[in-house]
């Protein structure tokens, strides 16, 4: 559905006509632009928008189906950018992602949002409170949405770092390190990092292209070249995010390896203790087994002191083995 539609002139909002074609004509006549926001539109709703603004069919298909990677595509009459905002849910320590599609053209911006995360109303309000920025046209909207998305990445990265420190403390805690659920928690955390990486990693090239850095020295159509320093700032923040994600991924892999190593060491300790107790049980079993055989001619079989002597011998051997295993930390 259409969430908001407004015409902006000199950084000021004016309510646009109900007809989308009239809204675009009004914006162009005033030297401004029209910004239309949609949330999970139906095909019929979006067909009206795509026809009025001459959006490319391939970009329209991507906007309707969603589940796209972050990307930047330039068509004849418009620019199409996909962002994946992420939301951190503290109740379950999980990361979920939505999608924001941005169509940028001559005097218009169309934003399509999928998912409940990262609503664009806050970005719109912030821009409307900064008329000088909003007066720069559709490029200002593209920058504001991209900047807000990447800044929120930094907040999510900090939250995940806190979760990782808690998980690390649990793994190396003598009391809780042996929990049967620890490995499951580590694997779940790794999946959250992977979900985060899917949102941040592919966005590097589109932002670098907007910033005009590296191999992307050419200007991007429909984007004001004066905005490059702003997008360069976004690119710097995104680089920090990607470095944090890489660090989180490496650390959680190391923690998983450490947990598995600890589990293996504990299992070896348990096996040593079991083996020590089995060895101690084997001595009296052996002696009792020998003297329990039904033979008439056995040493000391009919001696009156055989029984107490054998019991004392068993006890002495048990004490000897116990002290030996204890000294070697097997018990």
Q: What is the DSSP string of 263-279?
A: HHHHHHHHHHHHHHHHH
- Sheet architecture: strand order including 108-114: 12-15, 2-9, 33-39, 108-114, 99-105, 78-83, 71-74
Strand ranges (E), 189-264:
none
Q: Would the CA dihedral through 89, 150, 83, 32 be positive or negative?
A: positive
Q: Express the helix, strand and coil content of the chain in percent, nearest 5 each.
A: 60, 15, 25
Q: Has residue 216 got a pLDDT over 70?
A: no
Q: According to the model, what pLDDT value does residue 293 have?
A: 66
Reported as a single tens digit per residue, the pLDDT across 136-190 is: 889 999 999 999 999 999 999 999 988 888 888 877 776 655 566 777 888 888 8
Residue whose tokens read 């009239």 = 22
Residue whose tokens read 């951190």 = 88
**Length in residues, the chain:** 331
pLDDT band for 46, please (50, 70, 90 cuts): confident
Alpha-helical (H) ranges within 172-227 are 182-200, 204-211
Q: What are phi and psi of 100, to 5 degrees?
A: -130, 120
DSSP single-letter state for residue 76: S
Average pLDDT, whole number, for the chain?
83
Q: What are phi and psi of 223, to 5 degrees?
A: -120, 125
* Whole-model pTM over 0.85: no
Percentage, residues of the chain above pLDDT 70: 88
Mean pLDDT (whole number) for 235-262: 87
Q: According to the model, what pLDDT value does residue 316 have?
A: 84
Reported as a single tens digit per residue, the pLDDT across 81-132 is: 999 999 888 777 788 888 999 999 888 899 999 886 656 888 888 988 998 8
């Amino acid at each position: 559905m259409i969430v908001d539609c407004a015409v902006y002139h000199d950084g000021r909002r004016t309510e646009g006509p109900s007809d989308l074609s009239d809204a675009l004509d009004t914006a162009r006549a005033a030297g401004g632009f029209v910004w239309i926001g949609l949330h999970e539109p139906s095909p019929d709703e979006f067909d009206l928008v795509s026809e009025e603004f001459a959006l490319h069919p391939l970009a329209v298909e991507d906007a309707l189906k969603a589940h796209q990677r972050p990307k930047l595509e330039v068509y004849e009459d418009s620019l199409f950018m996909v962002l994946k905002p992420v939301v951190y849910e503290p109740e379950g320590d999980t990361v979920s992602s939505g999608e924001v599609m941005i169509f940028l053209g001559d005097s218009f911006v169309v934003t399509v949002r999928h998912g409940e995360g990262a609503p664009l109303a806050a970005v719109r309000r912030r821009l409307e409170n900064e008329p000088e920025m909003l007066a720069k046209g559709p490029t200002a909207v593209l920058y504001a949405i991209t900047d807000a998305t990447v800044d929120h990445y930094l907040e999510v990265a900090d939250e995940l770092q806190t979760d990782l420190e808690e998980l690390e403390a649990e793994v190396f805690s003598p009391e809780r390190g042996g929990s049967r659920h620890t490995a499951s928690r580590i694997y779940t955390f790794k999946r959250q990092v992977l979900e985060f990486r899917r949102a941040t990693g592919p966005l590097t090239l589109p932002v670098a292209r907007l910033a005009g850095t590296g191999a992307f020295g050419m200007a991007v159509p429909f984007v004001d070249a004066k905005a490059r320093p702003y997008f360069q700032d976004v690119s710097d923040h995104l680089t920090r995010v990607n470095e944090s994600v890489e660090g989180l991924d490496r650390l959680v892999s190391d923690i998983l390896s450490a947990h598995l190593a600890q589990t293996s060491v504990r299992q070896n300790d348990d096996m040593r203790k079991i083996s020590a107790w089995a060895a101690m049980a084997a001595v009296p079993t052996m002696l009792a087994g020998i003297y329990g055989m039904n033979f008439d001619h056995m040493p000391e079989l009919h001696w009156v002191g055989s029984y107490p002597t054998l019991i004392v011998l068993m006890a002495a051997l048990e004490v000897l083995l116990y002290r030996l295993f204890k000294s070697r930390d097997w018990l």
